[in-house]
Amino acid sequence: MAAIPHRRSLTTLAFHTSPQHQLKSTTIPIPKEHQQAKHSKPISETQSQRQKQLLSLIKTCTQKTHFLQIHAHLVYSNLLQDPTISLNFLSRVALFTTRDLNYSRQFFTQIPNPLVSHYNTMVRAYSMSNSPLEGFYMYREMKRQGLPVNPMSSSFAIKSCIKVSTLLGGVQVHARILRDGHQSDSQLLTTLMDFYSCCEKCDEACRVFDEMSERDTVAWNVLISCCLRNNRTRDALGVFDIMQSESNGCEPDDVTCLLLLQACAHLNALEFGERIHSYIDEHGYGGATNLHNSLVAMYSRCGCLDKAYEVFKGMRNKNVVSWSAMISGLAMNGYGREAIEAFWEMEKMGVPPDDQTFTGVLSACSHCGLVDEGMMFFDRMSKEFGIVPNIHHYGCMVDLLGRAGLLEQAYRLIMTMGVKPDSTMWRTLLGACRIHGHVTLGEQVIEHLIELKAQEAGDYALLLNIYSSAGNWEKVLEVRKFMKEKAIETTPGCSTIVLKGVVHEFIVDDVSHPRKDEIYAMLDEINQQLKIAGYVAEISSELHNLGAEEKGSALSYHSEKLAIAFGVLATPPGTTIRVAKNLRTCVDCHNFAKFLSGVYNRVVIVRDRARFHHFKEGRCSCNDYW
């Protein structure tokens, strides 16, 4: 078959390209029939055959030089006005994995009277690109051209708005959907829900969901995702039963399970997580590696390491995510050396670690004070595996050095590392300053946070802790005055315990629980029993400049103590008590839980902001290193 003639005019029509992309060395066969003059009038059957051959050629094309040749032929043969051919060619160049949107846009401008489908292709291509706003502009251009947009057009436009988080643009598309009468299209409304969710407009997303005439599993999944994204995790769990109710009759799928496992991990909702695990097995999703990985993560984050390992051990195909989840689970539960052993085992199995694996193993070293091992892994990561340390790896190293009391070394690492330190890293060092009572460095760290304009109420709370531990009450009053003037309020400690599927939430001195009188009576009884066993309130945990007796009283009703007391009250003797807290547990509450585990013969598992504490027989898994 002859190649397309190399005419200058054709090359120009196919746009100016770099020398290596011009039609000089690479040619592709064009069906002989298509080389006829554009004024010939073949019979319709022959024309149909030609079209099929050309479409087949377009669908198999993968190289830019070949696209240019076909494009030149379309121009020369006056085939751009054939909507089927022009649409297929545009779809190929705009949506293929090696898409070139500049070239696609230029081709689009040559199409005489482009149809809605041509516009949709471009809007879709832009929605998947780094220039999504261009897709929204093309959607508006359709309106100006008087073209009747369809649900697909609006769906792609919304996806463009999602990518750039433009609330105004999405609202405009929503208004257009209503005007065009497309509000009955469930797929379109599902995309609209996702848009409002991404813009943190959960109520708007729920409103769209309520207006849907038909809700499939995808719509329910987007609703659950919306709840998770907007910190309505408990609502997400409630959706699981609602969607299966008789009035809805929608069966959760594997994506539903993945989302709900995330919610369970976040809420420390072990019982609900076990329900999801049973559902996975009963509905034949047990072979899915990603679900097993999520189960390992969920059980680990609920402090149930035995079950996490059981799931992990039973997996047929363990990938790097599986190993990383297990290593991270061991790390956060205080089993640092076991996490390192899992890393060695992973290497033996021939599974190469990734950046997440090293985040897990460095975290393990940090939680257990394994400084030498941590330095070794950090060195191996780049030299042996070619993984460039990211902000999370440096954060683990700062945490490792800070916990070990090597504060100056941690500070030097921050100042010399290859990435710009973020507020989380400075906050990690500030926490280490609080642990080791380093006042001067703590003040320096606060200055860095102010420089980043990233200081939070919790940072000042840490600084208050540093000053109060040092007995510098003048500075405490100074910081408190500053916080009052700037209306800075610290995040209140909040602890949760899940019993029989119900989440019970407590804050300090909480009186909102319906069983509050019983809980406080139980806590007073517990305090008396623990004092007999030798428990003394750790008064350094209290910030106020009070006398020792007053401080001890102020510490009595911290949120985790109330949650633990409720656990003792509401569960049979010997039942494990699981509590989650949003902040780092204080020294006094840590001691309280240790004594309680011995005196009441209970296993108490507390997950605070950074890690797990497994209290058993008067000891903690962290060995008082946290």
Name the more confident of 592 and 458.
592
Residue 502 sits in the same domain as residue 615: yes
Q: Which two tokens stand for residue 525?
A: 């009884």
Please check the confidence at residue 10 and state whether its pLDDT lies above 90: no
Q: pLDDT per residue over 266-305, tens digit each?
A: 988 899 999 999 999 999 887 889 999 999 999 999 989 9
Q: Is residue 214 assigned to a domain?
A: yes
Q: Quick one: average pLDDT of 28-41?
A: 44
Please check the confidence at residue 458 and state whether its pLDDT lies above 70: yes
Residue 498 sits in the same domain as residue 596: yes
Name the more confident of 557 and 208.
208
Name the more confident of 470 and 158.
158
Q: Can you tell me whether residue 618 is helix, strand or coil? A: coil
Where residue 33 falls among pLDDT bands split at 50, 70, 90? very low
Cα end-to-end distance, the chain, whole Å: 75
Of all residues in the chain, the percent with pLDDT exceeding 90 is 57
Q: Which two tokens stand for residue 88?
A: 């297929």
Q: HSE on the CB side for 609, CA within 13 Å?
A: 13
Residue 107 sits in the same domain as residue 188: no
Q: pLDDT per residue over 390-426, tens digit each?
A: 999 999 999 999 999 999 999 999 999 989 998 889 9
φ/ψ region of 334 (left if φ > 0, alpha if ψ in -120 to 50, else beta) reads left
Q: Quick one: average pLDDT of 158-185?
A: 92
Which of 227, 252, 277 finishes a domain? 252
Cα–Cα distance measured from residue 206 to residue 222, given in angstroms and rounded to the nearest whole number: 10
Q: How many domains does the chain have?
A: 3
Of all residues in the chain, the percent with pLDDT exceeding 70 is 89
Q: For the sheet with 604-607, list strands across it.
A: 502-507, 494-499, 577-581, 604-607, 612-616, 619-620
Please check the confidence at residue 586 and state whether its pLDDT lies above 70: yes
Q: pLDDT per residue over 337-381, tens digit each?
A: 999 999 999 999 999 999 999 999 999 999 888 999 999 999 999
Where residue 39 falls among pLDDT bands split at 50, 70, 90? very low
- DSSP state letter for 317: S
* pLDDT confidence of residue 285: 85
Cα–Cα distance measured from residue 11 to residue 23, given in angstroms and rounded to the nearest whole number: 7
* pLDDT confidence of residue 452: 78
* pLDDT confidence of residue 5: 40
Q: Which two tokens stand for residue 245?
A: 């109710």
* pLDDT confidence of residue 355: 95
Please check the confidence at residue 579 and state whether its pLDDT lies above 50: yes
Where residue 35 falls among pLDDT bands split at 50, 70, 90? very low
Please check the confidence at residue 21 and state whether its pLDDT lies above 50: no
Please give the backbone phi and psi of residue 549, each rounded to the nearest 5 degrees, phi first. Answer: -65, -40
Asked if residue 48 lies in contact with residue 84, where contact means CB atoms within 8 angstroms, the answer is no
Cα 83 vs. chain centroid, distance in angstroms?
A: 42
Q: Is residue 197 assigned to a domain?
A: yes
DSSP string, 550-609: HHHHHHTT-HHHHHHHHHHHHS-TT--EEEEESSPPPHHHHHHHHHHHHHTT--EEEE-S
DSSP string, 143-172: HHTT----HHHHHHHHHHHHHHT-HHHHHH
Q: Is residue 372 assigned to a domain?
A: no
Please check the confidence at residue 332 and state whether its pLDDT lies above 50: yes
Of 621, 600, 624, the residue nearest 612 (C-alpha): 621
Cα–Cα distance measured from residue 121 to residue 91, given in angstroms and rounded to the nearest whole number: 6
- DSSP state letter for 501: T
What pTM was computed for the model?
0.78
Q: pLDDT per residue over 81-134, tens digit each?
A: 899 999 999 999 898 877 789 999 999 999 999 999 999 999 999 999 999 999
Q: Is residue 119 assigned to a domain?
A: no
* pLDDT confidence of residue 13: 39
Burial 452-462 (b: 16+ CB within 10 A, else e): eeebeebbbbb
Residue 200 sits in the same domain as residue 95: no
* pLDDT confidence of residue 380: 95
Which of 252, 273, 306 finishes a domain? 252
Q: Quick one: average pLDDT of 578-605?
A: 92
Q: Is residue 217 assigned to a domain?
A: yes
* pLDDT confidence of residue 622: 83
* pLDDT confidence of residue 550: 43
Residue 107 sits in the same domain as residue 189: no
- DSSP state letter for 612: E
Please check the confidence at residue 455 and state whether its pLDDT lies above 80: no
* pLDDT confidence of residue 540: 58
Q: Quick one: average pLDDT of 193-211?
A: 93
Residue 17 sits in the same domain as residue 106: yes
Of 349, 350, 302, 305, the residue nearest 327 (C-alpha): 305
Q: Which two tokens stand for residue 376?
A: 């070794």
Q: Is residue 275 assigned to a domain?
A: no
Question: Beta strand 494-499 with 612-616: parallel, antiparallel or unpaired?
Answer: unpaired
Can you give the residue range of the structural domain that contains 218?
Answer: 183-252
Q: pLDDT per residue over 438-454, tens digit each?
A: 888 988 888 888 887 77
Where residue 626 falls among pLDDT bands split at 50, 70, 90? low
Q: pLDDT per residue over 460-512, tens digit each?
A: 777 888 888 777 888 888 888 888 877 877 778 899 998 887 889 999 888 99
Q: Which two tokens stand for residue 553?
A: 């009283």
Q: What is the mean pLDDT of the chain?
A: 86
Which of 214, 235, 252 finishes a domain? 252
List C-alpha distances in Å: 367 to 149, 322, 360, 612, 623: 56, 21, 11, 10, 10
Q: Quick one: average pLDDT of 245-274?
A: 91
* pLDDT confidence of residue 486: 77
Name the more confident of 368 and 595.
595
Q: Is residue 288 assigned to a domain?
A: no
Cα–Cα distance measured from residue 304 to residue 601, given in angstroms and rounded to the nearest whole number: 18
